[in-house]
C-alpha cells in the first residue's frame, strides 16, 4: 500500500523528528537522498552540468546542499537564485565551498541554462498558488532552449514547483519533472492529476519520518498484495447464491450495448450469478447466455445482493422508476451514468445499505452544479465533497480515478491508462464493482478493487483496446494480482 500525507501532517511529523535531531540533520538526509537520485538519473557525475533552480525556502536549501554534494564529486553546478537575499545561507555556503557557482536569476545568461540535469528547488510544501512571474519566466527561458539542444532531465525536489502538495491542483505555471525525489512521505499532489502528470517517476527518500506519521494517511493507493487480500474467492461450501447475485438494471432499446458491457463486467467480478432487468435482455443473453434475464422492472427481477443501475438506461420516466426501485431495495447499490441524473441527495443519505456513485468528471460537475473544468482541476476536493453531500461512497473516474468514503483515506487508483478512455469501458467497471459488492466487499473496497482490476485489464488487453476486450482481460488481471501478490 502506498500512503500519502497532507502538508499539515508531514510538518507535524517533521517537527517531532527535528526536536530529536541536531540542527540541519533532516535537511542533510534529504539532500543526500536527492543527490543519490540525481546521480542515478545522470548515470555519471564528473563533468556533468547541473543547474539548480533555488527559491527562498528550505526546498531551495535542499537543492543547494545536494548541489554541493554533486560539485564535490566533480559536477559543474550552477545555482540560479530566485530570492538571492533569502537563499538558504548554509546551502549557499556549502555549494560555493564545493566549487559551485550561484547568481540571481536576472543575471543568468542563456548559456548557463544549458544543463544535463536541472534540480527544481523553487518551492516544496511551502509553495502556494501558481509559480510567481519571475519563476515562471525562468521556466519559460529553460524550455525555450537553443534549437537542437537536448532536453535536460528535471528532478523535482520534494514535489514539482507549482503543484499543490495537498490536492494535485496546478493553478498556474508549474515545473514538469522527469522524476521527483520526495522526502519522508508521498504528498497527495504527487498521486493525483494534474499534479501527478507533472511529477514523473516518484522516488520516496527515507528521512526517518515513518514512526512520527499517524496510522491513517490522507490518501492511499492499493498495490497487488492489497487487492489480492480483498478478492472474493469461492470456498468449498460456496454455491452461486452464497457467492452473491448482482442485479444489473441497465441498457434500453436504444442503448442495448451498455447492458451487455455492464453484465460482461459483472460476470467477472466474483459474484456467483448476474440477474439482468431491462429492455436489452435479448442482446444480453445472446452475448452472455449464463445471465438470468427478465424483461421487466428491477422490483420483479428476484433477490439480489447488490444492484447496478444506470448505464445506457436513458432519461425517461421508466429509467427514473428503475433508479427509484433500486434505491428502495435494502442492498448495496451502484449508480452510474444515466442513473446519476435522478439522484436526490436526501434519498441517498437516508438509505441504510451502502450506495456507490461512479461519475466521470462531467457527471460529477452536474451533481455538484459546477463546471467540468472545476472538477478536473480539483479532483480530490470534488470527490470528497460528493461523498459528503450524498453520504455515499464516490468513485470519480478519470486519468487518476479516486474513491472517497466518509472519513476514510481517499483511495487513488494506480493502474489507470489512457486506453480506458474508450466508449463503454465505464459500463464494464460498473458491472465489475457491483459484482464485488454482491460478493461481500464494502463499497470502498469494491470500488477501489474494481478500478484496480479494470485498469490492469486495459493494460493487458490488446492495444488499442475496446470495452469488450477490457472485460475479456479481467480474468488475466485477476490472475496476475493473485500470482504476484507479495512481490510488489
Ligand X SMILES: NC(=O)C1=CN([C@@H]2O[C@H](COP(=O)(O)OP(=O)(O)OC[C@H]3O[C@@H](n4cnc5c(N)ncnc54)[C@H](OP(=O)(O)O)[C@@H]3O)[C@@H](O)[C@H]2O)[C@@H](O)CC1
Binding interface with ligand X (CB under 6 A):
14, 18, 26-27, 30, 55-60, 62, 83, 86, 122-129, 131-132, 135, 157-158, 183, 207
Closest approach of ligand X to the CB of residue 3, in Å: 18
**Helices within 144-255 (DSSP H only):** 188-191, 195-199, 224-230
Name the one range near K ion by CB under 5 A: 3-11, 40-48, 160-168, 217-225: 160-168
Distance between CA atoms of 126 and 31, rounded to whole angstroms?
Answer: 17
Q: Which does 120 bind (CB under 5 to 8 A by kind): ligand X, K ion, none?
A: K ion
User: Considering beta carbons, is residue 166 or 385 the nearer one to K ion?
Assistant: 166
Question: Minimum distance between the CB of residue 478 and ligand X, rounded to whole angstroms?
Answer: 39
Please tell me whether the peptide bond between 194 and the residue prior to it is cis, using omega within 30 degrees of 0: yes
- Rounded CA-CA distance 412/298 in Å is 32
Q: In whole angstroms, give the CA distance from residue 10 to residue 213.
A: 7
Binding residues: 58-62, 120, 124-130, 158, 161, 258, 312, 360, 397-401, 426-427
Min separation Cβ 16 and K ion, Å: 23
Smallest distance, Å, CB 154 to K ion?
10
When the beta carbons of 57 and 298 are compared against K ion, the nearer one is: 57
For residue 431, CA distances in Å to 267, 397, 435 come to 8, 15, 6
Measure the CA dihedral 461/467/471/476, to 10°: 10
* Residue at grid coordinates 503543484: 163
Q: Minimum CB separation from K ion for residue 18, in Å?
A: 20
117-136 binders of K ion (CB under 5 A): 120
97 phi/psi in degrees, rounded to 5: -65, -25
Q: Could you say which of K ion, ligand X, none residue 84 binds, taking C-beta under 5 to 8 angstroms by partner kind?
A: none
* Grid cell locating 172: 498556474
Q: Which is nearer to K ion, 157 or 456 (CB)?
A: 157
Residue closer to ligand X by CB (options 64, 410) is: 64
Q: Choose the one of K ion, ligand X, none that binds residue 55, judging by a C-beta under 5 to 8 angstroms depending on kind.
A: ligand X
- The span of 30-38, 159-167, 257-265, 291-299 binding K ion (CB under 5 A) equals 159-167
Interacting partner of 466 out of K ion, ligand X, none (Cβ under 5 to 8 A depending on kind): none
Q: Please state the closest distance from residue 58 (CB atom) to K ion, in A.
A: 11
Nearer to K ion, 157 or 387 (CB): 157
Question: If contact means CB under 5 to 8 A according to the sort of partner, which of K ion, ligand X, none does residue 126 touch?
Answer: ligand X
State in angstroms the smallest separation of the CB of 114 from ligand X: 23
CB of 163 to ligand X, least distance (A): 10
Coil, helix or strand at residue 419 = helix
Q: What's the distance, CA 237 to chain centroid?
A: 38
- For position 427 contacting K ion by CB under 5 A, the verdict is no
Compare residues 37 and 399 and give the one whose CB is closer to ligand X.
37
Distance CA 470, CA 455 (A): 9
Contact by Cβ (8 Å): 184, 10: yes
* Residue 301 per-residue DSSP state: S
> Which one of ligand X, K ion, none is in contact with 217 (Cβ closer than 5 to 8 A by kind)?
none
Closest CA to 293 of 280, 303, 305, 304: 280
The whole-angstrom separation of Cα 104 and Cα 83 is 7
Closer Cβ to ligand X, 83 or 476, answer by number? 83
Among 161, 182, 393, 415, binds K ion (CB under 5 A): 161
Contact at 8 Å (CB) between 368 and 375?
yes
- Give 124 or 264: the residue with its C-beta nearer to K ion: 124
- Residue list, annotated binding site for AMP: 397-401, 426
Nearest by Cα to 83 from 66, 110, 60: 60
58 interface partner picked from K ion, ligand X, none, CB below 5 to 8 A per type: ligand X
Q: How many CA atoms lie within 13 A of 422 on its CB side?
A: 21
Does the protein bind K ion through residue 62 (CB under 5 A)? no
Q: Where do the DSSP E strands lie in 336-446? A: 355-357, 393-396, 402-405, 410-412
For position 157 contacting K ion by CB under 5 A, the verdict is yes
Of 84 and 345, which CB lies nearer to ligand X in the complex structure? Answer: 84
Q: Are 100 and 69 a contacting pair, CB within 8 Å?
A: no
> Is 284 in contact with 452 (CB distance < 8 Å)?
no
Q: Minimum Å distance from CB 484 to ligand X?
A: 33
57 binds, among ligand X, K ion, none (CB under 5 to 8 A by kind): ligand X
Backbone torsion region of residue 440, taken as left when φ is above 0, otherwise alpha when ψ lies between -120 and 50, otherwise beta? left
User: H/E element holding 106?
Assistant: none
Contact set with K ion (CB under 5 A): 120, 156-157, 161
Amino acid at each position: 500500500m502506498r500512503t500519502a500525507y497532507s502538508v499539515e501532517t508531514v510538518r507535524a511529523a517533521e517537527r517531532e523528528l527535528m526536536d530529536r535531531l541536531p540542527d540541519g540533520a533532516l535537511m542533510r538526509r534529504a539532500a543526500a537522498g536527492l543527490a543519490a537520485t540525481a546521480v542515478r538519473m545522470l548515470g555519471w557525475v564528473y563533468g556533468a552540468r547541473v543547474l539548480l533552480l533555488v527559491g527562498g525556502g528550505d526546498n531551495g536549501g535542499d537543492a543547494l546542499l545536494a548541489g554541493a554534494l554533486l560539485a564535490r564529486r566533480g559536477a559543474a553546478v550552477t545555482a540560479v537564485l530566485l530570492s538571492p537575499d533569502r537563499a538558504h545561507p548554509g546551502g549557499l555556503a556549502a555549494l560555493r565551498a564545493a566549487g559551485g557557482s550561484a547568481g540571481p536569476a536576472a543575471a543568468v545568461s542563456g548559456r548557463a541554462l544549458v544543463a544535463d540535469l536541472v534540480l527544481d528547488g523553487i518551492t516544496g510544501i511551502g509553495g502556494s498558488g501558481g509559480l510567481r512571474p519571475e519563476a515562471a519566466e525562468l521556466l519559460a527561458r529553460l524550455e525555450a532552449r537553443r534549437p537542437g539542444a537536448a532536453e535536460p532531465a528535471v528532478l523535482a525536489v520534494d514535489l514539482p514547483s507549482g503543484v499543490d502538495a495537498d490536492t494535485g491542483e496546478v493553478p498556474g505555471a508549474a515545473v514538469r519533472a522527469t522524476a521527483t525525489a520526495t522526502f519522508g512521505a508521498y504528498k497527495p499532489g504527487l498521486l493525483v492529476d494534474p499534479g501527478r502528470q507533472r511529477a514523473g517517476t516518484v522516488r520516496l527518500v527515507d528521512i526517518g519520518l515513518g514512526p512520527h506519521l499517524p496510522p491513517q494517511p490522507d490518501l492511499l493507493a492499493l498495490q497487488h498484495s492489497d487487492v489480492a487480500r480483498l478478492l472474493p474467492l469461492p470456498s468449498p461450501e460456496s454455491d452461486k447464491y452464497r457467492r452473491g447475485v448482482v442485479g444489473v438494471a441497465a441498457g434500453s432499446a436504444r442503448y442495448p450495448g451498455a447492458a451487455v458491457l455492464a453484465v460482461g463486467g459483472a460476470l467477472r467480478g466474483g459474484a456467483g450469478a448476474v440477474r439482468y432487468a431491462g429492455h436489452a435482455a435479448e442482446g444480453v443473453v445472446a452475448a452472455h447466455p449464463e445471465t438470468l434475464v427478465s424483461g421487466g422492472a428491477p422490483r420483479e427481477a428476484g433477490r439480489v445482493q447488490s444492484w447496478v443501475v444506470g448505464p445506457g438506461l436513458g432519461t425517461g420516466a421508466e429509467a427514473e422508476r428503475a433508479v427509484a426501485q433500486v434505491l428502495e431495495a435494502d442492498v448495496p447499490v451502484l449508480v452510474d451514468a444515466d442513473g446519476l441524473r435522478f439522484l436526490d441527495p436526501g434519498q441517498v443519505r437516508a438509505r441504510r445499505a451502502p450506495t456507490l456513485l461512479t461519475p466521470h468528471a462531467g457527471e460529477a460537475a452536474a451533481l455538484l452544479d459546477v463546471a467540468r473544468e472545476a472538477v478536473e482541476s480539483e479532483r480530490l476536493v470534488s470527490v470528497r465533497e460528493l461523498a459528503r453531500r450524498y453520504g455515499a461512497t464516490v468513485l470519480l473516474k478519470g486519468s487518476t480515478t479516486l474513491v472517497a468514503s466518509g472519513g476514510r483515506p481517499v483511495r487513488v487508483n494506480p493502474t489507470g491508462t489512457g486506453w480506458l478512455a474508450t466508449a463503454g469501458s465505464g459500463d464494464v467497471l460498473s458491472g465489475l464493482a457491483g459484482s464485488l459488492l454482491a460478493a461481500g466487499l464494502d463499497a470502498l473496497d469494491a470500488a477501489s478493487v474494481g478500478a484496480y482490476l479494470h485498469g490492469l485489464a486495459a493494460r493487458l488487453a490488446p492495444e488499442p483496446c475496446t470495452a469488450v476486450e477490457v472485460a475479456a482481460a479481467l480474468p488475466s488481471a485477476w490472475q496476475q494480482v493473485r500470482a504476484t501478490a507479495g512481490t510488489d
